[in-house]
A and B are shown apart, each in its own frame.
Chain A
Amino acid sequence: MNTNPSAKTCPKCGAPVPPEAPQGLCPKCVLAGAALATEAGLPPTATAEIPSLERVAAAFPQLEILELIGRGGMGFVFKARQPHLDRFVALKLLPDKLALDPQFTERFTREARTLARLSHPNIVSVFDFGQAGGFCYLMMEYVDGVNLRQAMRAGRFSPAAALGIVPKICEALQFAHERGVLHRDIKPENILLDQRGGVKIADFGIAKLIGEGHTEISLTGTGATLGTPHYMAPEQLEHPTEVDHRADIYSLGVVFYEMLTGELPIGRFAAPSEKTPVNHHVDEVVFRTLEKEREKRYQSAGEVKTSVEGLAEEAAAEAAAAPSLPPVMAPGQDFILCNPRLPRMAKLLTAYAVLGAPALFLISVFAWLRSIDGQTLNFEMLVFEAMVRVFETITLIFLVIGGFKLRGLRPSGPRLLRGTFWSRIALLAVAMVAGFVLAARTGSEGANSIGTFDIIEVTVGFMAMGFEVAALVWLRRSRAVLDALCRQSDAGVGPHGTMVAQGRAAGSAVTGGSRFSAKAIWGAALTGLSLPIPLLVVAALLLGAGGIGRVELALAVGSLLLFALPGNILGWMALSDIRASQGGLRGVPLAVFAALAWPPLVLAAVVLGVPMMMTFTSSTPPSTAMRVLGSLLLFVIPAGTITFIIWAIYSTARWAAGEQAPPKRGVLKWVFLALLAGALGLIALRQFSLSGREGGPDRPQPIEEFTRAAPIAGTEAITNFATVHFAGTPITNTVALHVDAASQIRFTFTAVDLRLEKGQRWLTIQYVDNVQGNCERVFRVDGNGFKPTTRTTESLSNPPNSPPVRSQRVEWLIPSGVSDPEAEAFRVAVTKSLREKSFIVAEGEERPLFHLPVGTIGDLSVVIGAIPKKPSP
Chain B
Amino acid sequence: MTNPHATSPFAPTRWTLVLRARGDSAEAKAALSELCEAYYQPVMRFLRREGREEDAAQELAQEFFARVLSGAGFASADPERGRFRSYLLGALKHFLGDQRERERRQKRGGGATIEQLESSTDTSPGLDVADPSALPPDAWFDREWALAVMDRALAALAAEFAKGDKAAHFEALKPWLVGETPALSQADAAKSLGMSEGAVKVAVHRMRRRFRELVKVEIAQTLPNPADVEDELRHLVAALAS
Contact = CB atoms under 8 A, between A and B. Distances in A.
Interface of A: 1, 10-13, 20-23, 25-38, 100-102, 105, 209, 211-212, 214-215, 218
Given A13-B178, A27-B146, A215-B182, 6 more contacts: A12-B179, A25-B154, A28-B241, A31-B233, A33-B211, A35-B234
Given A34-B233, A100-B234, A29 B179 contact: yes
Contacts of B236: 31
Contacts, number: 100
A222 to B, nearest CB: 15
Contacts of A25: 154, 174-175, 177-178
Given A22-B147, A100-B234, A105 B241 contact: yes
Closest 6 interchain pairs by CB? A11-B183, A29-B178, A22-B151, A12-B178, A34-B215, A100-B238
Interface in B143-172: 146-147, 149-151, 153-155, 158
B230 interface: yes
A11 B241 CA distance: 16
A10 B180 contact: no
Contacts of A214: 180, 182
Contact of A211 (B178, B182, B212, B233): B182
Size category of the B interface is 20 to 34
A29 B176 CA distance: 10
Contacts of B154: 22-23, 25, 30
A12 B216 CA distance: 22
Interface in B185-242: 208, 211-212, 215-216, 230, 233-234, 236-238, 240-241
B66 interface: no
Given A33-B179, A100-B238, A21 B147 contact: yes
Nearest to B153: A34
A30 B150 contact: yes
B184 interface: yes
A573 B195 CA distance: 55
B239 to A, nearest CB: 9
Nearest to A136: B241
Contact of A215 (B181, B212, B233): B181
A37 B208 CA distance: 10
A287 B170 CA distance: 52
Contact of B178 (A30, A35, A38, A209): A30
Nearest to A219: B179
Contacts of A30: 150, 154, 177-178, 211
Interface in B53-109: none
Contacts of B149: 31
B175 A11 contact: yes
Contacts of A105: 241
Nearest to B211: A34
B147 A32 contact: no
Contacts of B208: 33
Residue among A33, A36, A215 with max Cβ neighbours from chain B (10 Å): A33
A786 to B, nearest CB: 115
21 contacts: A1-B151, A11-B178, A22-B147, A22-B150, A22-B151, A22-B154, A23-B154, A26-B178, A30-B154, A30-B211, A31-B146, A31-B149, A31-B215, A31-B236, A31-B240, A32-B179, A33-B177, A33-B179, A35-B234, A38-B230, A218-B180
A32 B237 contact: yes
Interface of B: 45, 146-147, 149-151, 153-155, 158, 174-175, 177-184, 208, 211-212, 215-216, 230, 233-234, 236-238, 240-241
Contact of B179 (A27, A38, A215): A215
B240 A28 contact: yes
Nearest to B241: A102
Contacts of A34: 153, 211-212, 215-216, 233
Contacts of B233: 31, 34-35, 38
Residue among A25, A34, A35, A214 with max Cβ neighbours from chain B (10 Å): A34
Residue among A27, A29, A101, A212 with max Cβ neighbours from chain B (10 Å): A27
A21 B45 CA distance: 13
A822 B212 CA distance: 107
A362 to B, nearest CB: 77
A871 B155 CA distance: 138
A136 to B, nearest CB: 10
Contacts of A28: 237, 240-241
Contacts of A36: 179, 212
Contacts of B238: 100, 102
A102 B237 contact: yes
A251 to B, nearest CB: 24
Nearest to A105: B241
B5 to A, nearest CB: 21
B84 to A, nearest CB: 18
A36 B233 CA distance: 10
A25 B211 CA distance: 13
Nearest to B229: A38
A193 to B, nearest CB: 35
Contacts of A29: 177-179
A209 B181 CA distance: 11
Nearest to B238: A100
B179 A31 contact: no
Nearest to B219: A34
Contacts of A37: 212
Contacts of A101: 234
B43 to A, nearest CB: 14
Nearest to B151: A22
Contacts of B150: 22, 27, 30-31
A236 B151 CA distance: 39
A214 B180 CA distance: 8
Given A23-B174, A27-B146, A31-B237, A218 B215 contact: no
A748 to B, nearest CB: 99
Given A23-B154, A34-B215, A10 B178 contact: yes
Contacts of B230: 35, 38
A20 B212 CA distance: 21
A32 B241 CA distance: 9
Contact of A12 (B146, B158, B181, B241): B181
Contacts of A35: 230, 233-234, 237
Contacts of B211: 30, 33-34
A34 B212 CA distance: 5
Contacts of B178: 10-13, 25-26, 29-30, 33
Contacts of B182: 209, 211-212, 214-215
A279 to B, nearest CB: 45
A26 B150 CA distance: 10
Nearest to B215: A34
B179 A218 contact: yes
Contacts of B183: 11-12
A21 B144 CA distance: 10
A193 B154 CA distance: 52
A12 B180 CA distance: 7
B42 to A, nearest CB: 11
Contacts of A102: 237-238, 240-241
A565 to B, nearest CB: 58
Residue among A21, A23, A29, A36 with max Cβ neighbours from chain B (10 Å): A23
A37 B215 CA distance: 12
B184 A11 contact: yes
Contacts of A13: 178
Contacts of A20: 45, 147
A105 B237 CA distance: 11
B229 to A, nearest CB: 8
B171 to A, nearest CB: 9
A35 B212 CA distance: 7
Nearest to A209: B182
B96 to A, nearest CB: 22
Contacts of B180: 214-215, 218
A214 B236 CA distance: 27
B236 to A, nearest CB: 6
Contacts of A218: 179-180
